[in-house]
Amino acid sequence: MARLFVQLKLRLLRNALRSSRTAKISFIISTAFAVLLAVGTFLVLAGFRGKSTSVDLTAVIFTVFAFGWLIAPIMAFAVDSTLDPSTLALYPLRTRQLAGGLLAASFTGAWPAANVIGLLGVTVGLATGGPGVAVAVIAVVLQVLFCIALSRFVTTSLARLLRSRRGKDLAAFLIIPLVALYEFFTQVVPKAAAEGRITAASFTGFDSWMRWLPPGLAAHAIQDASDGRPGMALARLGALAAVIVVLGWLWVRSLSRALVTADTTTQAARVRGARLPLAGLGLRGAVAARFWLYQRRDPLSLIYWALVVVITLAVSASSIVGKVHHPAVILASAVFGAAFIGIFHSNSAGMTGPPFLLEATALSRTRELRAYFSGQNIVLCVIGAPLVIAACFGLAAAVGRPGFGVEAAPVVLAGLGAALGLSNLFTVALPYPMVQRAGTPVLVAAQGYAGYRIGSVLGTLAGTAVLAGPAIAAVVLTQTDPLAIRLGVLLPCGAVYGFALALAGERLAAAAATGKLPELCQAAVRSAVS
């Protein structure tokens, strides 16, 4: 059975490769990344040789890998059919057969191989002597087995939940800490490391609690064997093996249950209010009401808002960690935060997907389309302006100069107006279908439309930066004037300027959209938005 499942996995990989050029390219890129991971991890682990903290650092890396195995399948659940045991429920298989087969399938592919090869870096970095190397090889195999068993147990236990709407929503939110973590590693860590604030010694102390986690057991077993304590090494490996057996047993039990238990989707949610809000604002109010409810209820919308905050903070992260606190960095955060609100909505029809047809069958005239864009812009502004301004204040407070936050506010208002106007224009000028891909719950351009996406992203970003220029210049040129006077003039000016830009954008977009509704509909219909 294990052989059949491995063949099935290989066949699925091969078929995906044959399906399209994009699939081939993404497979090649994915394999290249797996090779990079293998080589990079091997070199990093090997590089710990001779360091006093090598066992702590190895335990950290082993834990990071376990975390990755835990998160990645949850993110990819909806698209990797080999992960959901219920798809195999109709076949006459015993649970043990199924478990063995799924485990073997998990071991198949470039990424599991990359894990084993990469982690074998410990044979150079941590292990010394024959027994040390032998224990290192066993520890790596057990570590990867642990990762797989953990991942399988968690995904199978969550299988019922993840097949439901709310479960998928939950999985979608995992992207926020991941993006935050990514931004932290790309923005903060290099800066801190360059300034000597993060060194290998920073990881001392992790050891006290991490040594008792399964990845820590694997790392310490290698050190024990290398230091001539084979008994202790074997005891640790035994403990790790026991954890794997327990996880495997739990997994088999969970699998048996998952195959015969009902989906939780039927436990549906009810909404409290019966009426759509903003009844007095006509068509504009209707669109705004629908859009407002979506900002609260749609996980994708919440993710976009969280990403706006992460991006706003990340742009100035170096300013927080670094020694030079220049206000210009926070102004850049203001522009980026505002621009990304526009970027995330610069393909409104494609992002809405097939439900856009309901709107398209009702809207035709310029004033209706103006109300459509305006309703959405009002909601984005009501949420976005305070959010980005608050993030800028947070940054300013973090650098100990709250005044910088005040200066950022007019730039946020001007930038947001520009970004919203531009997003309306790009919605009409470059409509494209969007899809959800494996590994990310956010939407990406469908195959063949990457150019449209790049155009609208760069166009909105550059356009916002240029159009926010006058506001930035006003803030910089009035540096020497008293803050109260500057605020009294700059804030209303920024608001009026931003409002004018948004108004111009939505008017131009509405005029253009009257002749392009069928094209917007086609972009929406071809979107695979769930």
Partner 1 sequence: MAADEELVVPASSAAGGLPRYQPGAGGAAVVVRGLRKRFGEKEAVAGIDLQIGAGSLAGLVGPNGAGKTTSLSMMTGLLRPDGGQVLVNGLDVWENPPAAKAIMGVVPAEVRLFDRLSGEELLEYAGRLRGMPPGEARSRAAQLLDVLDLAGDARRLVADYSTGMRKKAALGCALIHNPSVLFLDEPLEGVDPVSADVIRRLLKRFAGSGSTVLFSSHVMELVEQVCDHVSIIDKGKIVVTGTIDEVRGGTTLQRAFINLVGPRATDEEVLSWLGSSSS
Q: Give the binding site for partner 1 (CB under 8 A).
A: 165, 265-266, 268-271, 274-276, 279-280, 282-283, 285-287, 289-290, 293-294, 297-298, 353-355, 357-368, 514, 517-519, 521-522, 525, 529
Residue 268 vs 324, nearer CB to partner 1 = 268
CB of 349 to partner 1, least distance (A): 12
Residue 289 vs 399, nearer CB to partner 1 = 289
CA 193, 194, 195 angle in degrees (round to 5)?
Answer: 90
CB of 344 to partner 1, least distance (A): 17
CB of 355 to partner 1, least distance (A): 5
Residue 287 vs 329, nearer CB to partner 1 = 287
Query: Using only C-alpha atoms, what is the Rg of the chain?
Result: 27
Give strand pairing partners of 11: none
Between CA 401 and CA 315 the distance in angstroms is 17
Question: 86 is written with which tokens?
Answer: 């219920």
Q: Please classify residue 162 by burial: count the beta carbons closer than 10 Å to its beta carbon, then call 0-12 exposed, 13-18 middle and 19+ buried.
A: buried
Residue 2 vs 283, nearer CB to partner 1 = 283
Cβ–Cβ < 8 Å for 405, 330: yes
Cβ–Cβ < 8 Å for 163, 84: yes
Cβ–Cβ < 8 Å for 99, 255: yes
Residue 207 vs 359, nearer CB to partner 1 = 359
Q: How many CB atoms are closer than 10 A to CB 439?
A: 15
Residue 53 vs residues 38, 47, 223, 310: alpha-carbon distances, Å: 22, 12, 11, 32
CB of 200 to partner 1, least distance (A): 48
CB of 516 to partner 1, least distance (A): 9
CB of 177 to partner 1, least distance (A): 23
Residue 113 vs 161, nearer CB to partner 1 = 161
Between CA 186 and CA 205 the distance in angstroms is 24
CB of 358 to partner 1, least distance (A): 6
Q: How many CB atoms are closer than 10 A to CB 474?
A: 19
Cα torsion for 458, 461, 467, 472, to the nearest 10°?
-140
Question: 254 is written with which tokens?
Answer: 């969970």
Residue 374 vs 460, nearer CB to partner 1 = 374
CB of 510 to partner 1, least distance (A): 10
CB of 513 to partner 1, least distance (A): 10
Between CA 190 and CA 213 the distance in angstroms is 28
CB of 338 to partner 1, least distance (A): 25
Question: 435 is written with which tokens?
Answer: 């899809």
Residue 145 vs 360, nearer CB to partner 1 = 360
Cβ–Cβ < 8 Å for 379, 295: yes
Q: How many CB atoms are closer than 10 A to CB 76?
A: 16
Residue 156 vs 527, nearer CB to partner 1 = 527
Residue 202 vs 364, nearer CB to partner 1 = 364
Q: Please classify residue 212 by burial: count the beta carbons closer than 10 Å to its beta carbon, then call 0-12 exposed, 13-18 middle and 19+ buried.
A: exposed
Cβ–Cβ < 8 Å for 62, 119: yes
